[in-house]
Amino acid sequence: MRRPFIAGNWKMNLVVRDAIRLAEEVCECVGSIPDRDVAICPTFVSISAVAAALNDSPIRVGGQDCSQWNDGAYTGDVSATILRSAGAKYVILGHSERRHVMGESDAVVHAKMGKARAAGLKPILCVGETLDERQAGNTLAVVERQLRKGLEGLTHEDLAETTVAYEPVWAIGTGEVATPEQAQEVHAAIRTWLKELGGPIGEDIRIQYGGSVKPDNVGGLAAMPDIDGALVGGAALTADSFSTIVGFGAG
Ligand code: PEP
């Protein structure tokens, strides 16, 4: 039985003071939901302050990215080790905005996965096709390539600490959510590849869906057998909507 995992990606939003306030509100609204994991991912600059604001709450903090290199002369980058030292437990890697806006290749995402694991961070590996790739019938080929390259060389122990987020690029920030059936089709394929790579561990790895998840569509998505939670962008920016998504199906 996989424990649902809901993570909020705050992207490049919220000055530090507002990030602290939202973290406190999320804490209050989410309360204690013992049967799922929850994380929020602020900008690098707010990680320490948000980690302090969450104090002893079960909500964890994650980064939105980390460097592909170790500590050293890489101006502007933040290493996985530094991220961990600031209080992060998770890190989102291979988000489509990094792949498509910042031009990150599969090889770069793969290098970051290795650094994250070496630092003890739990990666959330994002995979997903663009609209053109979907329309050309290449969805599964693209997702399989991104997944295999991202996970290449990871030990079974590393795989057990990894979450995969299927995020169709055409659904991110567009309000156009994948139907539960569209998402499940890809999640089921990801599950098959995870089992090939990790044996029985593949059955336990959580696969989040991401792309315009909102309080009114999360229930249908979460009812699918291979959807184990959500990676939430826009709807994670208010405590109300995020806590409703976190609480789907609870109680
Ligand atoms: C995301 O940024 O990972 C995301 C899924 O965004 P949104 O929920 O706004 O589509």
What's the pLDDT tens digit per position in 153-197?
A: 999 999 999 999 999 999 998 988 899 999 999 999 999 999 999
User: What residues are labeled active site?
Assistant: 95, 167
Residue 247's pLDDT band, with cuts at 50, 70 and 90, is very high
Could you tell me if the CB of 172 is within 6 A of ligand 1? yes
Which one, of 130, 210, 199, lies nearest residue 163 by Cα?
Answer: 210
Counting residues of the chain whose pLDDT is more than 70, the rounded percentage is 99
Taking a C-beta distance cutoff of 8 angstroms, is the pair 84, 111 a contact? no
Query: What three-state secondary structure class fits 219?
Result: helix
Residue 250's pLDDT band, with cuts at 50, 70 and 90, is low
Taking a C-beta distance cutoff of 8 angstroms, is the pair 91, 116 a contact? yes
Query: What three-state secondary structure class fits 242?
Result: helix
Report pLDDT for 31.
Answer: 83
Considering all CA atoms of the chain, what is the largest pairwise distance in Å, rounded to the nearest integer? 50
Query: What three-state secondary structure class fits 210?
Result: strand
Q: For the segment 72-111, what is each residue's pLDDT rounded down to a tens digit?
A: 999 999 999 999 999 999 999 999 999 999 999 999 999 9
Residue 251's pLDDT band, with cuts at 50, 70 and 90, is very low
CA gap 114, 152 in Å, rounded? 9
> Ligand 1: which of 9, 97, 102 to mutate, most ligand atoms within 8 Å of CB?
9
What fold, for 5-247?
TIM Barrel (3.20.20)
| Nearest CA owner, ligand 1 atom 4 | 233
Give the Å distance between the CA of 126 and the centre of ligand 1: 11
Average pLDDT over residues 55-62: 93
Relative to beta strand 5-9, strand 37-41 is: parallel
